[in-house]
Chain A
Amino acid sequence: MTPKRLPLLALPVMIGQEFKSWWYLLIVAGSSIFKQGFNWWAVLGIAAALLFIIGLAAVRYWRFSYLIDDQAVTINSGLFVKKVRHIPYPNIQTLSHQQWFFLQPFGLETLNIETSSKDGKEGAGTLFAVSTSVGQEIEAHRHHQPVLTTEASETEPQEPTTPTFDAKYQISARDLNLYAATSMGFLAILAALGWLWNKLDDVIPKTWQENAFDQLAHLAVFVLVFFIILFLAVAVLISYLNLLQRYYHFTLTKQAHTLTATRGFFKRLEVSVRISRIQAVRMRQSLLRHWLHLTTIQALLASNAADEEKDNDLVLLPVIKADLALSMMHNFIDWVPTTTPEFTPVSKANHWYFVRNWALWNLGLVAIIALVVGHFWRQWLLWTLIVGVLWVLIQSFQGLSAARFTGVAIIDAHTLLIRNGSLWHQTQYVVRRQNIQAMSLKQSIWMTRKHVAHLVLSIRRGDGNEPVEARYLEAESVEKIMTWYRRH
């Protein structure tokens, strides 16, 4: 069989991809416009940068070919160094399909193939804008071949894939709205706007700035407040709309031993993963969502399934009532328990440690900031102290809420549930014994006397380790869990 080329429509997608990693070249090339106004050198620079980006994509496109046979997907690439990547079907950890709206009429989609190889990019392959039949072909090969997995101890009968789903969840308009509205994503956008402002500050001529500040100084205070509120509103709106389009028509289905999540308005994204490859199920809530009794459920995977969203976690359910989370997930992943019968919380007497630690750390932080402020900007010291004291109080309260949430439960011989609280977040993990890579017990000499200990689990996440810690549990329960883990 001769290797196949990508369709011509892959070229614009690849250019877009290169643009994503090289866009700053354009800014560097054109930066003199900000300083000197319009000039032909800047135009020339921008043109050269554009040409470079397009050229890079064109060369990639030209040298790229792929082959799908009975054993593996083979990808050939590289101009000077020829690279041939073989990805055998049983090694595929996740397969994700991305379909931009402009590819849909042509029946094309981009395929991302991920393995659990530790080399990150080396173990992965992307087929840009190939026919949807390619994806179906790979899926068929994946499902018909016996799976060479060492971790699953129970035998998994291979049923033929049927078009009916074993379980299905589709997000309702109300839930999607709730998810987007309770997101803290606007903070990131605020930060990005702030960063942009900072950069503009460097390139915009000083005279312009002074003019602008002069104008601002003449405005009444309420106009300034109006601007600040406008700024915030824009950030919230951007984040809200972005989440709406990203999780539009979110659907999770279970078919035999595979979970598939589909979502997106402008770009349809479909990710499928074998249930036996899921390292842990994580239910995470921000404090805002905690107060509203909502949680987000994610699967931790040993690959970068959601690579372009910059996290390694596959979203299984964007938002759900916290008390329904376990029973809902149980429909999809049978080792997730419906209830937590033997939950061991942090005992009331030990709540104090959390509050103390959170307060002390933040007190230290505030003290350092206050010292710096007091030395250089004396007039702001009072305000810094007031805000600082408030901050420490808020953090102590967070410590208390983390203490109330933290705990562990042994579900059965194979499954553990663990909860902890971190800055602004509370997280619950369900993990199988076979996916806990290592476990440690930590204890200071003072804790030994009080019979208190920390428990730390190591779970594979992406290419690395996700340490999960439950602090200040009773030493006896931590030892019980160590025994549960270590028994053969």
Chain B
Amino acid sequence: MQTQLPAQIKTVWRLRALIDGLLWVILAVGFFVAHILWSWPWWLIAIALGLGVLHVGSHLILIPYRYAFWRYQISSDDVVLQSGFIFRKTEAIPIARIQNVTLEQGPLLRGQHLQSVKVQTAATTHEIAGVEEAVADALREQIMQLAKEARDDA
């Protein structure tokens, strides 16, 4: 049973892209001030704005794609994460290798009542970008319980 991320995650991603855009705007304003005060070249402003539009635009355009092809699946044996269509990637993390599960919630995720779930092994960290709060708690319980069982079995 493969689960898709909740649709609210798209809002979070969009807001994140806009915040990135805001940083570019601030940079452009900085260049504008520098242009007025110390007559820095004006094309620095254009470059900052151009890169900003490119950055934010590409993010916004890719959000539906990212959302459509991102799947996760948790069974009693492993956590499987799948992403992408043009560049497809399937990751398998056996429950027995999981050392930690971390739930994280920044203001953007909190606004949408979502939490991100980070699964850590001895070497790697894997992230489920956002799930509903209740689901996140249940997932953490489930993964840790399964991990405990897997370890007791070994």
Contact = CB atoms under 8 A, between A and B. Distances in A.
B78 A445 contact: no
B126 A438 contact: yes
Contacts of A441: 89-90
Given A445-B85, A485-B94, A488-B77, A438 B121 contact: yes
B97 interface: yes
A482 B126 CA distance: 18
Contacts of A445: 85-88
B19 interface: no
B1 interface: no
Nearest to B96: A434
A485 B92 contact: yes
A482 B123 contact: no
Interface stretch (A107-115, A232-240, A457-465): A457-465
A443 B124 CA distance: 20
B122 interface: yes
B88 A438 contact: no
A465 B97 CA distance: 14
Contacts of B122: 302, 437, 460
Contact of B124 (A438, A442, A448): A438
Contacts of A82: none
Contacts of A458: 121, 123-124
A445 B78 CA distance: 25
A18 to B, nearest CB: 33
Contacts of B93: 437-438
Contacts of B92: 438-440, 482, 485-486
Nearest to B87: A444
Contacts of A487: 77
B110 interface: no
A153 interface: yes
B86 A465 contact: no
Contact of A442 (B89, B96, B151): B89
A486 B85 contact: no
B37 interface: no
Interface string B51-92: 000000000000000000000000011100000011111111
A438 B88 CA distance: 16
Given A153-B154, A458-B123, A460-B122, A486 B88 contact: no
A486 B89 contact: no
Contact of B121 (A153, A437, A444): A437
Contact of B88 (A151, A437, A448, A461): A448
A445 B86 CA distance: 5
Contacts of B96: 434
Interface string A441-471: 1111100100000000011110011100000
Interface size class of A (residues with CB under 8 A): 20 to 34
B123 A437 contact: yes
A448 B85 CA distance: 10
A150 interface: yes
Contacts, number: 66
Interface in A121-168: 150-151, 153
Most buried by A among B76, B86, B90: B90
A439 B91 contact: yes
Contact of B123 (A151, A464, A485, A488): A464
A488 B95 CA distance: 10
Interface in B86-130: 86-94, 96-97, 121-124, 126
A436 B121 CA distance: 10
B124 A465 contact: yes
Interface in A403-454: 434, 436-445, 448
A60 to B, nearest CB: 32
A352 B154 CA distance: 43
Nearest to B154: A153
A460 B93 CA distance: 14
Interface string B116-154: 000001111010000000000000000000000001001
Contacts of A461: 123
B154 A150 contact: yes
A459 to B, nearest CB: 6
B97 A437 contact: yes
A441 B97 CA distance: 18
B62 to A, nearest CB: 15
B123 A466 contact: yes
Contacts of A442: 87-90
B120 to A, nearest CB: 10
B80 to A, nearest CB: 8
B91 A438 contact: yes
A440 B94 contact: no
Contacts of B76: 488
Interface in A166-187: none
A80 to B, nearest CB: 33
A271 B58 CA distance: 52
5 contacts: A436-B97, A437-B122, A437-B124, A440-B90, A445-B88
Interface of A: 150-151, 153, 302, 434, 436-445, 448, 458-461, 464-466, 482, 485-488
Question: 10 closest A-B pairs (Cβ-Cβ)?
Answer: A465-B123, A437-B121, A460-B123, A437-B123, A440-B91, A460-B122, A441-B90, A438-B93, A458-B124, A443-B88
